[in-house]
Structure 1
């Protein structure tokens, strides 16, 4: 550990100095790209600094950094999946319907937010919401598919709508 640590306490600077290179190497192994690894390493330290845990008393900083980095990796890979699906959609879209680069960017960001929102829902809530919104099914049909009553479907839909409303404020 660095001399900046005082009575067992670590500073953000000392954790960065001691573990940044290791974290970047670990991320490069997961991503196969030095630039993306450097970006995610920086994001990991930013999250650590703005997190709820007191970094001064971390006993295992690498374990904590790994935990944060894994969440960022999952977000990164999910974003790549959404971007890939969006690019595939654009590739088959007629030229007359093609959006401007600014509109494409806004649509992609909206798709990523929707994906994140859906991922936070419980599986049956998510499925009920998607069956309603994408397939246009009524509560009775949704209940039959999910093996629950209409009352439970209403509860699922209320949870999904609340999540949408809460997310709208962010």
Structure 2
């Protein structure tokens, strides 16, 4: 075990050996679920292995791991929130929808990816896009709902579509 506060050469292996158990406990306290904590601790180290930004020297390795894990934890909670909203929308659908479990996973993954793509846009731009594309509202209805002009609605929708389109190109290129 490393001595807290000491500066020492860091590799993902030493971080894992010295702090994996601590990180699992930290995550378990926040999640209240040992299995999810184990998964997120694993994902934290996978993220470090796939990153070239692990410093060679860390004076506070637990603070570093906490930062990485906190980002993953935020994504986890965001995905859970999105999944709950999706399941509530399905339950409120006018006609019973009997999708296969595979179809549900595909739709949920698509929603999570769309949420990721739109992240970083101003909330009003996201709302305009989602009202138009997911709720099927006209530009006039979106403009009224958001108290903005129709040309602004169009500009916002184009901005969101460009974000999705160009992100798609970066995955295939």
TM-score by length of 2: 0.78
- Map Cα deviations across residues 83-134 of structure 1 (whole Å, 9 max, x no partner): 2222223334544x41122111111111111222233322232233234434
- Taking the TM superposition and a 5 Å limit, the aligned residue runs for 1:15-54 are 15-54=15-54
Partner of 2:72: 72
Structure 2 residues not aligned, in runs of 5+: none
* Change in 2 beyond 3 A, CA 1:136/1:80: same
- Map Cα deviations across residues 22-41 of structure 1 (whole Å, 9 max, x no partner): 11111001000111101100
Corresponding residue pairs, total: 163
Contact 2:132 2:142 in 1 (8 A): no
**Distance in 2 of aligned mates of 1:34 and 1:140:** 43
**Distance in 2 of aligned mates of 1:52 and 1:106:** 31
Partner of 1:141: 143
Partner of 1:166: 166
Contact 2:10 2:55 in 1 (8 A): yes
Higher relative contact order (CA 8 A, sep 6+): 2
- Pairwise CA distance, 1:15: 0.8
- Pairwise CA distance, 1:153: 5.1
Contact 1:9 1:56 in 2 (8 A): yes
TM-score by length of 1: 0.79
Greater displacement, 114-123 / 100-109: 114-123
